[in-house]
Structure 1
Amino acid sequence: MAELPKIISVDDHVVEPAHVWQTWLPERFRAEGPRIERRGVGGMKHIGGGTYEQEFTDDGRPADCWVFGDLVYIHKRHVAAVGYSRDDMTMTPMTYDEMRPGCYDPKARVEDQEVNHVEASLCFPTFPRFCGQTFTEHPDRDMGLACVKAYNDWMVEEWCGDSDGALIPLIIVPLWDAELAAAEVRRNAERGVHAVCFSEVPSHLGLPSIHSGFWDPFFAACEETETTINMHIGSSSRMPATSGDAPVAVAASLSFNNAMASMTDWLFSGNLVRFPDLKLAYSEGQIGWIPYILERADDVWREHRAWGGVADLIPEPPSTYYYSNIFGCFFRDQHGVDSLDVVGVDNITFETDYPHTDSTWPDTKEVATRLMEGVADEAVYKIMRGNAIRMLHLDLDRDRQPAVATA
């Protein structure tokens, strides 16, 4: 294999700096808007999704916390994990002072990318959660919308603004109103944004499903503006679990199921028939499961479509829409790489997951080189950067963008 191309990571994360909403919100919202307070944490337990049992005490471990109405979100080490050993990547409360600056400072982030063989990075939110559901859950819709817009203005103008393309903007939308969501997509597309967060299973958030028709204005806006819909595992505020007392490692091992369930939902929804140019991306879902679910979905379509409710909805085998409309994403998945002939060399992208516990930083080049051993150079180029360039409409490598196979 030739020298590994510089990577474009399609799934990283930003820990929002303390000033975001106090700087970017309109003044009338700032007093009640999200702000950072340092508190002592006596105890903390993850219940599921974005829910924790938390105890605050004056003599507890210091932590910087987002305070927003009744919500208190504690910064935790396993979320800002880079720089710690694997055994120290625990659910420990922490302050900004204990984080690597690349977690929250754009210039430091670009420096950390440069030492990690990464040219550009797409970053998901932390405090708003993976599709901005924090602001959807707030009872004041005016405040929620103002917070969404403030986040997007900060993301585009400050986080990405001076990075010379090294940081790629990824916006959130007001999920409670599809017309408002469409308007926010169009507002940001006018300033060059081509990526938006969405929930893998919106019905888990108490929102209408993708089968309902509710989201059509949002889907239409994304298709019209070439904005890719990015769905991170956990963006439904629910992770697969077997029991309440199972170790978190069980849910972590099964997390791909969120992406698998969501993709199956989309393949049978008819949305990719009605919006044929819409593009979807599954973040941190890995890819090794894709060959089987495509096989199973096609088999169900062939054998069960009459009673399965999709005979008039899905005119082609479901896998057709995967190859034409969907991108997978991985960071360590040898089985998926070994299945490239079915996964589709034009359908997968790479990530570093900085700064989470799954991150391959600062060894991403070595990890990727091992995974790509024996893979043809042109396929390596596509997986490491070419497909991400197409997916995110980046102004890079225009002479290298080949026609896309759809079978």
Structure 2
Amino acid sequence: MAELPRIVSVDDHVIEPAHLFETWLPARYRARGPQPLTAGIGQLAYIGGKYRITMDPEGPPTDWWIYEDLRFPYKRNIAAVGFDRDEMTLEGITRAEMRPGCWDPAERLKDMDLNHVEASLCFPTFPRFCGQTFAEAHDKEVALACVRAYNDWMVEEWCGDSGGRLVPLCLIPLWDVGLAVAEIERNAARGVRAVTFSEIPTHLGLPSIHSGHWDPFFAVCAETGTVVNMHIGSSSQMPAASPDAPPAVQASLSFNNAMASMMDFLFSGVLVRFPALRLAYSEGQMGWIPYALERADDVWREHRAWGGVRDIVPEPPSSYYYRQIYCCFFRDRHGIAALDAVGRDNATFETDYPHVDSTFPHTKEIALDHVRGLDEETVYKLMRGNAIRMLGLDLDRDRDRDQNRDRDGGRAATRTPGR
């Protein structure tokens, strides 16, 4: 391999600037919308898999969002780049203490250049991974305006001057599927091809994907080529074992949410009804996928009569995975070792900037360590090609055209005359 292709990262994050809602929310909603505030943070407790955070005038200065009865602080572990490993804690942080690339798009592009990254898809922070913050709000009129304001900021400010390098990822109003369809259509009309969604909606008190409730949403995503992106934790809970286990247990089990969600989709009939729908699992890694697919296919063969899927899933579940689902990785040697089962056309790469798991600024070295020994075409697919295809990015068109021409020419040369 002559050189590692520049990476297209399908899972990064943005820290929202303090001016977001003041600038992008219509004036009539601003007093009731999210308000930025710098104030002290109290002692953080981790109880039963959930964080308990309070304000404390005597505590370390922290940047917060105040919205209805919500008090949302930014913490070091979500803006960790630039800190030593042992400083990546759950303490509060201000934007002034963060690396500017966390919230400034021009600085983000500079950090992407330092990190061998050409393009990046970024999940929200204050709205949470799929917009749960607004779904939980009491005043849904303001909440809808906030969803639209966030999307306008994402498309026009965060991504607008990046030359296509920052890829828009938009929210939907989760509480109303009709409004969600309208928001997909509004954003697709301006070129957005990615939306974030909950991996397990029932954990948010929403209907399940088996109910048919979300079919209009899935239909419009399929029609517009909008990829449904599901980040671990987008169900507002993470898998845990003992209720008094430390956060490290939760972090080690985080892939379980993606696995549970994927099984939900494989046996739901959603991918049967919407064959053009594409799903992307973010930060779930991929080493678990080969056995999950093996088990799903085995259950489909041996247990479908009593398992409730005989009439809704006509083909082995793995066939829908290979056709419609993408995974991603950044530290996963087991996934690379099982790449043929994971799918060379299904795996994408991420850097998780600026979270505590981020590979910044060593992403190139870490990626090389994983793909060394793979053929150049596979490396290209993993580092950027699959992501470009998944998101419909306007990158590498000359390369793809040349390869298609070469393949067509090769077929013509070997075609038997007269046939």
TM-score range, shorter chain: over 0.9
1:58 counterpart letter in structure 2? P
2: CA distance between counterparts of 1:137 and 1:389?
Answer: 34
Give the equivalent residue in structure 1 for 2:8.
8
d(CA) in 1 for partners of 2:57 and 2:89? 22
The whole-number CA distance in structure 1 between the counterparts of 2:371 and 2:277 is 29
Residue 111 of structure 2 corresponds to residue 112 of structure 1: yes
CA–CA distance in 2 between the matches of 1:46 and 1:224? 42
Aligned to 1:137: 136
What is residue 339 of structure 1 aligned with on the other side?
338
Q: If each structure's helix is expressed as a fraction of its own residues, which one has the higher value?
A: 2
Gaps of 5+ in 2: 405-419
Change in CA separation of 1:392 and 1:160 when aligned onto 2, cut-off 3 Å: same
Residue 48 of structure 1 and its aligned partner are, at CA, apart by 6.6
Partner of 1:94: 93
Mapped contact 1:48–1:238 kept (Cα < 8 A): no
Within 5 Å, give how 1:8-407 maps onto structure 2. 8-47=8-47, 52-401=51-400
CA separation in 2, counterparts of 1:75 and 1:383? 32
Q: For 1:260, what is the secondary structure of its paired residue?
A: helix
Deviating beyond 6 angstroms after TM superposition, the runs of 4 or more aligned structure 1 residues are none
For 1:4, give the aligned amino acid: L
- CA deviation profile, 1:317-370 (whole Å, cap 9, x unmatched): 000000000000000000000101110100000000000010000000000001
For each residue in 1:248-299, what CA deviation from the matched residue of structure 2 results, as whole angstroms up to 9, or x when unmatched? Answer: 0001001000000000100000000000000000000000000000000000
Structure 2 SS opposite 1:180? helix
Amino acid paired to 1:32: R
2-structure distance, mates of 1:360, 1:12: 11
Aligned residues: 402
Given the superposition, is the C-alpha separation of residues 48 and 186 from structure 1 closer, same or farther in structure 2, using an over 3 Å criterion?
farther
Shift of 1:40: 1.2
Question: Structure 2 length normalisation: TM-score?
Answer: 0.94
Q: 1:329 touches 1:350 (CA, 8 Å); kept in 2?
A: yes
Using the TM superposition, give the Cα deviation of residue 41 of structure 1 relative to its aligned residue in structure 2, in angstroms.
Answer: 1.4
Structure 1: distance between partners of 2:83 and 2:271? 42
Shift in Å, 1:56: 2.1
Matched residues, percent identical? 67
Residue pair 2:48, 2:244 contacting (<8 A) in 1 also: no
Query: Counterparts of 1:85 and 1:60 in 2: how far apart (Å)?
Result: 22
Matches of 2:329 and 2:47, distance apart in 1 = 26
Q: How far did residue 397 of structure 1 move?
A: 1.1
The alignment partner of 1:9 has SS state of strand
Deviation, 1:177, is 0.9
How many angstroms does 1:170 deviate by?
0.1
Whether the 8 Å CA contact 1:13–1:353 is kept in 2: the answer is yes
Please tell me the residue identity of whatever aligns with 2:286.
I
| In 2, Cα distance between equivalents of 1:55 and 1:298 | 47
Distance 1:115 1:12 in 2: 15
**Rg larger in 1 or in 2?**
2
Which region of structure 1 is more displaced relative to structure 2, 33-42 or 206-215? Answer: 33-42
Q: Look up the equivalent residue of 2:33 and give its one-letter code.
A: G
Separation (CA, whole Å) in 2 of partners of 1:120 and 1:152:
19
Distance 2:398 2:240 in 1: 46
Distance 1:400 1:297, change over 3 A: farther
The one-letter code sitting in structure 2 at the alignment partner of 1:178 is V
Measured in 2, the distance between the counterparts of 1:400 and 1:48 equals: 51
Q: TM-score scaled to structure 1, two decimals? A: 0.97
Give the letter for the 1:19 counterpart: H
The structural deviation recorded for 1:205 is: 0.3
CA positional deviation for 1:45: 2.0
Which AA in structure 2 matches 1:18? A
Which moved further from structure 2: 203-212 or 34-43? 34-43
Measure how far apart 1:52 and its partner are: 3.1
1:47 Cα deviation (Å)? 4.2
Separation of aligned partners in 2, 1:103 and 1:273? 39
Gaps of 5+ in 1: none
Q: Which amino acid aligns with 2:103?
A: Y
Kindly state the Cα deviation for residue 55 of structure 1 after the two structures are TM-superposed. Answer: 2.7
C-alpha distance after superposition, 1:98-121 (max 9, x if no partner) = 000000000000000001000000
Alpha-carbon RMSD across the aligned residues, in angstroms, is 1.1
Structure 1 residues 188, 313: CA separation in 2 closer, same or farther (over 3 Å shift)? same
Maintained 8 Å contact 1:48/1:239: no
> Residue 228 of structure 2: SS of its match in structure 1?
strand
Which residue does 2:413 correspond to in 1? none
